Amino acid sequence: MLDLTLLGSGGGMPRVNRHLSSMIINYKGRKILIDCGEGTQVAMRKVHSGFKSIDIICITHYHGDHIFGLPGLLATIGNSHRTESITIIGPIGLKEIMEGILVMIPYLPYDLKLIECTKESLGINVSDNILEVTKEKKLNKSNLILSTIELDHSSHCLGYSIYVPRKPKFYPEKAIELGIPKEFWSRLQIGEKIQYENKIYNSDKVLGGRRKGIKLSYITDTRPMDTLLNFIAESDLFVCEGTYGDNLDIEKAIKNKHMTFEEAAELAYKSNVKELLLTHFSPSIEDPNIYKLNAKTIFNNTIIGYDGYRKKLTYN
């Protein structure tokens, strides 16, 4: 249901073998991009992810290693003759940042919809083959639910969580027993009530209980926070910064408002996530795998991220 590719696993400045922070998510052929560090377009071409079908761009914060690739990407999308609007979501200050960026690229053939967030939930639906952000009152009917949380960094910074709800199981034998024709089944499956032969049938007569959906959480850049535990809880995949691999770098982590591998693993363990994917490595780290035991001794199901890492998340 969700296909994701880690485009860039670096933080601070790019390395020859590591692009800066970025991840792309594919949902039903449409795409959500999280962060757009320098080199994101090159990384996208390497993995053949495509760029014309990006409908939503989520920015965690406005440090260069997370946003310097955005002007070039928006221009390239414009050159592809896209005309449908693109939604950009970010923390407070997004409108001011985009005013500056649009000075460089003033002629885009599509509109930009800007949403400044602090802590909120947004619904995302596939409409006319485009991912569109909906109003909060429609969350219960959304294809995706995108939630944000304010993080503890040196500037306004957001963490993101994407949840794919799962429809309750439909029991055709119950519909048959009630004498409801097949032509009404699809409406019952999506929770509607129907009227047939002067009787009203509620969907709960033919549906099972609530089922767990798919949850993806993306957290960078920040210090650990107690409020994160509930935000990332039960994630199928928890993507988290691991700027510092060595536990001896804890003072740097505190000073620069980042995390160590160990701290990210502790969050994963306490929140009962299924997998932890570490990313956003300091440019001083040549090979993050050297420090993987610092995370795996706390949370064994830890993956050391790398540019081009792919993962498919499906219902259990």
Residue 249 bears catalytic tag: no
DSSP classification of residue 244:
B
Q: Is 280 annotated as a binding residue?
A: yes
Name the helix (H) or strand (E) containing 128: none
Residue 84's nearest CA partner among 27, 30, 7 is 30
DSSP classification of residue 139:
G
Name the helix (H) or strand (E) containing 213: strand 211-219
Residue 84's nearest CA partner among 115, 114, 113, 117 is 113
Catalytic residue, candidates 35, 55, 65, 307: 65
CA angle in degrees (0–180, nearest 5) for 68-69-73: 145
Cβ atoms 17, 41 nearer than 8 A = no
Using CA atoms, how far apart are residues 37 and 22, in angstroms rounded to an integer? 6
Q: Is 258 annotated as a binding residue?
A: no
Residue 166's nearest CA partner among 277, 3, 313 is 313
Task: Give SS3 for 84.
Answer: coil
DSSP classification of residue 169:
P
Q: Is 19 annotated as a binding residue?
A: no
Cβ atoms 189, 170 nearer than 8 A = yes
Q: Is 221 annotated as a binding residue?
A: yes
Token pair 């700027």 in the structure block, residue: 243
Using CA atoms, how far apart are residues 90 and 306, in angstroms rounded to an integer? 25
At 187, the amino acid letter reads R
Q: Is 111 annotated as a binding residue?
A: no
Using CA atoms, how far apart are residues 39 and 62, in angstroms rounded to an integer? 16
Residue positions in the annotated binding site? 61, 63, 65-66, 153, 221, 280
Residue positions in the annotated binding site for Zn(2+)? 61, 63, 65-66, 153, 221, 280
Active-site amino acid positions:
65
